[in-house]
Amino acid sequence: MALYTHHLPRWKRDEVEEIKRGIQEHPVVGIVNMHGIPASQVQDIRRNLRGTARVKMSRNTLIERALNELGGSVADLKEHFEGQSALIFTNENPFRLFKLLEQTKTKMAAKPGEIAPEDIVVPKGPTTFKPGPIVGEFQQVGIPAVIEGGKVKIRETKTVVKKGEVINRKVAGVLSKLGIKPMDVGLALQAAYYRGSVFTPEMLAIDEEACAKKIAFAASQAFNLSVNAAIPTRLTIGAIIGRAVSEARNVGVEAGVYEKDIIDLIIGRARREMLAVALAAQARGFDLDEETLK
Amino acid sequence: MEYIYAALLLHNAGKEITEENVTAVLKSAGVEVQDARVKALVAALEDVNIEEAINRAALAPVAAAAPAAAAAPA
Amino acid sequence: MEYIYAALLLHNAGKEITEENVTAVLKSAGVEVQDARVKALVAALEDVNIEEAINRAALAPVAAAAPAAAAAPA
Amino acid sequence: MEYIYAALLLHNAGKEITEENVTAVLKSAGVEVQDARVKALVAALEDVNIEEAINRAALAPVAAAAPAAAAAPA
Amino acid sequence: MEYIYAALLLHNAGKEITEENVTAVLKSAGVEVQDARVKALVAALEDVNIEEAINRAALAPVAAAAPAAAAAPA
Amino acid sequence: MEYIYAALLLHNAGKEITEENVTAVLKSAGVEVQDARVKALVAALEDVNIEEAINRAALAPVAAAAPAAAAAPA
Amino acid sequence: MEYIYAALLLHNAGKEITEENVTAVLKSAGVEVQDARVKALVAALEDVNIEEAINRAALAPVAAAAPAAAAAPA
């Protein structure tokens, strides 16, 4: 460590110290990739995060040095460096931080050489282009185009780049002409350090819809248990009564207990049985009288 | 369900549903008739409009099923 | 549909559905029996699994009601 | 329905559904018991698997819903 | 469900659903009564319109099945 | 429903559903525990196969009744 | 599902679903609490309308069996 210190110019030394302080003063430290984010958007993001999280941009070498000097498990963050990294400090928990950063993402046009974050689909339908070289450009990237009513029309919906594939120059050009913005641009959280552990994006992405479903599912189970075990609660007593009544009716109808309350159900059941047999008989040549079918 | 079939048979034939008639029909089919069940049946049917019960039975299930489906996505 | 009820009654009573039996049940209910219809019914039901048809009706009232409605104009 | 409730109460309590037991339960609830209805109830339930009957209609509609559609055109 | 049936029996018999009455009915059926369950039941029933719950059950069974199928993929 | 949720939490955690455990869980959630309800809960669950009971659809939900009622006039 | 039940217990008890509260409830049930899961749950529930999710369940309790398989690994 002493070795590093001696060789660092003053401003670098200060920078490293500032990074170390940031890490020590916040429970959560994230690594984000700033690569390809326009400066204007970085400013927007900073503004959106103000009061919640602080973005610290620096050279990767200096961040690495700070992490090395601190040592311990936080240094594991180094393994998640990618592109042009920046640190993000917050007092929020890492899940919340991940969610916040996802929310700051916006859609941008694709640049040649970028990787498609999802299948890029060009929908069929009319365009505003007049006939010209554009038709050839479309065809070169596999988009079937025709001229219709003096305008270029895309004949069928096409997936031009699959998720994970590189977007080449020609495709990028066509997409930009069509105004398709496939890229998610924003601070991508590479990893977050929290209380001795490094969390990856896969661990941090929470599916709220799935969570709501689990809640609903758990509530159903509780409802079922309460009714099936006949444990009355304010919420379920109505259903429990209903169940008991249904059971009693079922038994009564099934066994043919001729009680006033269910005699109409029994009549209905007999009538349905008659109809079922009548229709089966009809299918085999027995003429039903009109009354039967009424 | 024999007893109710006998009753509905009588109803369809335009005959009154009395203990006597129900018993006769059941016997004709070789059923060992239990008086108590006949009595209970006739008593239960006393205040019932059979025609209406039949029509309700035919209509109700279909009608009930439709709104139920609609409620599902809620 | 007296004829069908008579058949169901016999079926439930564990009796065979023969022309003789159906006629006896119908007569016991005061129905003026048409021999041709009895013949047609007995012939038609020969190939019908009544138990299955009944169970289907009991379990699936919706299903039973639907074809009923559809069949109505027939 | 008192009579049926009494029967199910006994069934749930693991007791036999006899005329005597049903009568006792009904009386304890202050019901003026009609012997014929008790007899009819006990007779009707004699050959019935109550556990099955309880669950049959209760569970069946779920399964029935699907074939209902399929059966409709039949 | 014994406790519930006891309550429904009392309700149908026009009697009040009190801890005392429920206990008496359960005992008449030979049930070893647990006071806590009786208390919990009576308390839960205080806020419920039983008649309404019963009527709702009468209407619901058929309809209840349909949303199940629709909701299943959720 | 707190009591039910407490029971399910214990069940899922592989712990026994005893009065003591249920009480502890409820207290940890800041619930003012009523001993009688805990007793009733534990007693009711004694003979219940919880796994089965939670997955078995409970019939006639309150909500399902609403559309049924709408269909009633049919 | 323990974590979900803990959350629902707190919700039903009218308590806030915070990391601290969830942890306390889980511990009271003898669960070895994983900090990260508690955090993930609380963060996820921030944007979930629990009341709505519960009501959705109340409407389609029958459906519970189906998602069971899907939810199991959770």
Stretches where chain G sits below pLDDT 70 are 57-74
**Distance from B73 to chain F by nearest Cα, in Å?**
12
pLDDT of residue F67: 33
The C-alpha atoms of residue A208 and residue A189 are separated, in whole angstroms, by 19
Structural domains of chain B, count: 1
Backbone angles phi, psi at A86, to 5 degrees: -140, 160
pLDDT of residue A292: 60
Which residue of chain A has the CA closest to G69? A217
Query: Count of E–G CB contacts within 8 Å?
Result: 24
In which band, very low, low, confident or very high, does the pLDDT at B63 lie, cut at 50, 70 and 90?
very low
- SS in 3 state form for chain D? CHHHHHHHHHHHCCCCCCHHHHHHHHHHCCCCCCHHHHHHHHHHHCCCCHHHHHHHHHHHHHHHHHHHHHHCCC
The C-alpha atoms of residue B52 and residue B39 are separated, in whole angstroms, by 22
Give me the mean pLDDT over the A139-161 stretch: 88
CATH number of A120-181: 3.90.105.20
pLDDT digits (tens, 9 = 90+) for F29-65: 999 999 999 999 999 998 899 998 998 876 544 333 3
Three-state SS at A26: coil
> ipTM > 0.85?
no
Domain membership of residue E40 (yes or no) is yes
Domain membership of residue D52 (yes or no) is yes
Residue A158 is inside which H or E element, if any? strand A158-161
pLDDT digits (tens, 9 = 90+) for D34-57: 999 999 999 999 988 998 888 765
Backbone angles phi, psi at A53, to 5 degrees: -150, 150
Choose the closest CB to G74 out of A95, A208, A214: A214
Q: Which CATH class is domain A2-105+186-205?
A: alpha beta
B72 at the G interface (CB within 8 A)?
yes
A269 at the B interface (CB within 8 A)?
yes
Within 10 angstroms of residue B40's Cβ, the number of other Cβ atoms is 28
**Domain limits for position F31:** 2-71
B63 at the D interface (CB within 8 A)?
no
Give me the mean pLDDT over the A232-245 stretch: 87
Instruction: Verify whether the Cβ–Cβ distance G53 to A203 is below 8 Å.
Output: no
The C-alpha atoms of residue D42 and residue F22 are separated, in whole angstroms, by 42
Domain membership of residue E46 (yes or no) is yes
Instruction: Verify whether the Cβ–Cβ distance A244 to D54 is below 8 Å.
Output: no
The angle subtended at Cα F48 by Cα G53 and Cα E29, nearest 5°, is: 120
Q: Do the chains G and C touch each other, judged by at least 3 C-beta pairs below 8 angstroms?
A: no
Instruction: Verify whether the Cβ–Cβ distance F61 to G64 is below 8 Å.
Output: no
Q: Which residues of D touch F59 (CB under 8 A)?
A: 58
Domain membership of residue E74 (yes or no) is no
CATH at E23 = 1.10.10.1410
